[in-house]
Structures are given as C-alpha cells and as structure tokens.
Structure 1
Amino acid sequence: MKVARHVDADGAVRLVLAGELDLATVETLYDSVAQAITAGRPGRLVVDLAGVTFCDSTGIGALLDARTAANSSGVAFQATNPRGVTRRTMQVIGVFEVLTAGTAA
C-alpha cells in the first residue's frame, strides 16, 4: 500500500491510500496517521480510501484505531470515498457511519 500526504486548503491533513489495506500493510497506515497527528496537530485528519482495492478486517480495525488515535489527540477523523468491497464491508460490520461521519468522538 502507498500513502500520499496532502494538506487541504482548510488545513486538514489528507492521507490518500492506494492498494490493499490488510495485515501486511496496516503498519504503514499506523505510521502515517501517527506522523500526521504529531507533525502539526491538524484540526482534521481525512483518510481517502478511493484507491484501496482490498480491505480486510485487520484494515477496518486499523481505521478504527486511527480514528481513536486522532480523537485522543483532539483531531477529528473522517474516512472518505470507500468503494466496492471496502464500502460494503464497512456497512456490513456496522462501522460505515462511524468512520465516515467526520466528527471527533
């Protein structure tokens, strides 16, 4: 998996993921989230999932962990653009709204 980091016009940090989010790649997400949170304490962290081609339960867990880490640091979290099986898995598990709402817990 590849992660590109962008800063949006409103100051939000956007992590754009591409590839598979699974057991083999969750550490890349964890590292990217930790760096984004500590590098500048953005008001909002957006994880763009449009380029994710596969996401297993470990990947969903990592997204939930990323949300928790962001919220614990006072940073709102939002996962955007989940597609295909990633979106469906999030819906079936019942975390779609939690991950895509864009609010702090």
Structure 2
Amino acid sequence: MRITSRSADGVTRLSLAGELDMSSTQLLHDQVTAALDGAHTRTLVIDAVELDFCDSSGIQALVVNHRRVTERGITFRLTNARGVTRRALQITGVLDALSGD
C-alpha cells in the first residue's frame, strides 16, 4: 500500500492506494499518528479512491483510527470508498460512521 499525505488549512488528507490488509495496517496507523502529532489538524480525511481492497484487519484499522482521531476532538472522514472496499464497509456496518454520513 502507498499513502500520500497533504495538509492545508487544518485539513490533513491521507490518500490510500493499493490494499489495506494485515501487512499494511501499521503504515496507516503510523501516518495517522504523524497527522495527529503534526500541524494543527482539525479534520483528517482518509481518501480511499485508489484503495483496491480492504480486509477485516483494514476495517479494524480504520475503526481504531477513527476512534483515536475523534477522541482528540478532530473530525474524521472517509471519502471515495468504492467497489469491493465500499461493499465490505457497508456489510460490516461501519461505512456511515467512518464517512460522516
């Protein structure tokens, strides 16, 4: 998996590409930690437009990081989930909570 990070005006956007699975959840955790420790992030956006696959460990990582972020009073929003990733998030019942819908 590849994660790119951009920050501007209190919004940090982490763009995910590839597969979020057991082998890449630590990378997501590390990038979220960096976002929380970095600039004055008020909103953390996880952009999943290029995320091709997300297994149960990836879903768990998203949920755990959602909790970490919101406990700090920061808005968390998952955007652009599509295909099999979107379907997995819908089936598990977490898509609405993660996307802020």
TM-score range, shorter chain: over 0.9
Number of aligned positions between the proteins: 101
The aligned runs of 1:62-73 (5 Å cut-off) are: 62-73=61-72
User: What TM-score do you get using the length of structure 2 for normalisation?
Assistant: 0.95
Instruction: Tell me the equivalent position of 2:53.
Output: 54
Q: How far off its partner does 1:11 sit?
A: 2.4
Q: Is the 8 A contact 2:47 2:80 kept in 1?
A: yes
Alpha-carbon distance in 1 for matches of 2:74, 2:36: 8
Runs of 4+ aligned residues of structure 1 deviating over 3 Å after TM superposition are: none
User: What TM-score do you get using the length of structure 1 for normalisation?
Assistant: 0.91
**Which secondary structure state, in structure 1, belongs to the residue aligned with residue 16 of structure 2?**
strand
State percent identity of aligned pairs.
40
Across the aligned residues of Structure 1 and Structure 2, the Cα RMSD in angstroms comes to: 1.1
| Structure 2 counterpart of 1:31, one-letter code | D
The aligned runs of 1:1-105 (5 Å cut-off) are: 1-8=1-8, 10-101=9-100
Structure 2 residues not aligned, in runs of 5+: none
Q: How far off its partner does 1:35 sit?
A: 0.5
